[in-house]
Amino acid sequence: MDKFSRWVTPLKHRSVEPLYAGQNIEYEDFPCTIDVTGPLLYTLFQERWRDTQIGHVVEGSVLELEFTQPPKICLLYDGYLTVVTEAWHLHLCIEEHLGGPLQKTPPELRQQRLIHRASLYRRLNDRGEARSWGIQFWNGAGEKMMNLFLPNPFLGADEDLLPEGKPQLDKLSLYEELRQIYVLGDRPMPFDHNPLKRPYISVCRSSRCYPSRNWPPIYEALQQAVEEAGVDVTVMNAGCLEVCKLGPVVFYSGDRTWYTRVTPEIAKQIVNDHLVSGEKVTYHLYPPMSEIQIGTVSYTNS
Q: Which spans of this chain sit near ligand FES (rule: CB under 6 A)?
A: 204, 206, 208-209, 240-244, 247, 249
Closer residue to ligand FES, CB minimum distance, 36 or 221: 221
Residue 174 CB contacts under 8 Å (≥ 6 apart), including other chains: 48, 51, 150, 151
Closer residue to ligand FES, CB minimum distance, 46 or 237: 237
Q: How far is the CB of 253 from ligand FES (least distance, A)?
A: 15
Using Cβ positions, the residue closest to ligand FES within the complex turns out to be 209
Q: How far is the CB of 106 from ligand FES (least distance, A)?
A: 21
Side-chain-side CA neighbours of residue 145 (13 Å): 21
Closer residue to ligand FES, CB minimum distance, 94 or 238: 238
Three-state DSSP state, 257: strand
Radius of gyration of the chain (CA): 22
Residue 182 near residue 30, CB atoms below 8 Å: yes
Closer residue to ligand FES, CB minimum distance, 8 or 204: 204
Closer residue to ligand FES, CB minimum distance, 233 or 262: 262
Q: How far is the CB of 210 from ligand FES (least distance, A)?
A: 6
Environment class of 271 (CB within 10 Å of its CB; exposed 0-12, middle 13-18, buried 19+): buried
Q: Give the count of beta carbons closer than 10 Å to the beta carbon of residue 180.
A: 14
Q: How far is the CB of 247 from ligand FES (least distance, A)?
A: 5
Q: How far is the CB of 87 from ligand FES (least distance, A)?
A: 24
